[in-house]
Amino acid sequence: MNTRRDFLQKIGASALMLKLGSISAFANVPDQIEQAYEGRVLRVAIMGLGGYGTRVAEAMKACTKAKLVGVISGTPSKIKEWQTKYNIPEKNCYNYDNFDQVKNNPDIDAIYVITPNALHHSQVIRVAKAGKHAICEKPMALNAKEGQEMLDACKKANVKLLVGYRLHFEPRTLEVIRMRNAGDFGKVMFFQGQCGFKIGDPSQWRLNKALAGGGSMMDIGIYAINGARYMVGEEPVWVTAQETKTDPVKFKEGVDETIQFQLGFPSGAVASCLSSYNINYLDRFFMSGDKGYAEMQPSTGYGPIKGRTHNGELTQPTTTHQTIQMDEMATIIFEDKKPVVPVNGEEGLKDLKIIDAIYLAVKTGEKVKLRA
């Protein structure tokens, strides 16, 4: 399909004035012609060529500020497949044993770590030592101690550490945050986050404590934690939590099936959240203030985020989350742009501290205070 730029180039200047009004009205496009991006492009290597790595790679085809240029995998056949599919040169292909050599490759700026949770810590530190910016999938690490060590390594190497919080750039999510900042909801009193589905293959790494670091909390529970923080707009000061396990064969020791947790905020607002690997159709955020409310369902999925407030349906554009995420991360890395909601390592560490507290609350049955 021709772009509007192509169309305008083909018509004469005299016809432009006659046609532009009707074209804009029909296509609902702005009068200003979109300018091609001419800035620096972030050249990215993806580490971990599984399902989500593939999703990111496909989304990056539409990026204007970021480009997939390299791969890191422990599976040679996958490397060959990706080389062909994404036109990746041999010199930009590495395995888990030799990827430290990326330090000698000036054609790669950043490495996106999309591997099992337990590998993030060591791999991000190696990326930092190689002098490359690190983008890491969430959760950033298995616990706050590991997360702090990753932050320290990146700071020491003078490289950025970013976390794959794609929803921090999602237009309808950002509209709810804008409305909250504008006072449209009044005093926020309550947040509810429900994240859950019935997980399949019992042999997958997400149900292996050594690789995942836990169960549902380390996969989808973090969405409710993060969502509570960016929707309420505060950092919690306490947490309580309770675990339910109905299938100890599938969900072995240390792999949580379902956790309910509650958060308290300095303003007096409270959050009630649920994370489950054994309950379907849970993907909903709800926030209530004394002047209005916001409801998002789906709230975290890859498909279009949908939502409404007391003012009606949210109608912001539907985007491919990973495309806008990678373009925005390019501006964060090269231009030091400050997004509305941070995606840096410090943000990832805050979530890890809360996860640590949730697991402690489950173990002790007590309210756990959170440090700033």
DSSP letter for 218, please. I
User: From the candidates 94, 112, 165, 223, which is the catalytic residue?
Assistant: 223
Residue where the block lists tokens 């050594």: 210
For the record, the structure tokens of 29 come out as: 């496009």
Q: How far apart are CA 65 and CA 327, in angstroms?
A: 5
Q: What is the residue-wise DSSP string for 301-362?
A: SSS---EEETTEE--PPP--HHHHHHHHHHHHHHH----SS--BHHHHHHHHHHHHHHHHHH
Q: How far apart are CA 191 and CA 39, in angstroms?
A: 40
* Residue ranges in the chain assigned as alpha helix (H): 4-10, 13-27, 51-60, 76-86, 117-129, 144-157, 171-181, 209-212, 216, 222-232, 321-335, 345-364
223 catalytic residue (yes or no)? yes
Cis previous bond, 298, omega within 30: yes
Q: Which residues pair with 368 in a beta bridge?
A: 239
Q: How far apart are CA 2 and CA 6, in angstroms?
A: 6
281 catalytic residue (yes or no)? no
CB pairs under 8 A, 24+ apart, for 239-247?
Answer: 239/263, 239/264, 239/354, 239/357, 239/358, 239/361, 239/367, 239/368, 239/370, 240/361, 240/366, 240/367, 240/368, 241/358, 241/359, 241/361, 241/362, 242/362, 243/362, 246/278, 247/278
CA dist 305 → 62, 166, 235, 284, 313 (Å): 19, 12, 24, 10, 12
- With CA atoms as reference, report the closest residue to 212 among 139, 162, 163, 277: 139
User: From the candidates 65, 132, 138, 353, which is the catalytic residue?
Assistant: 138
Enumerate the active-site residues: 138, 223
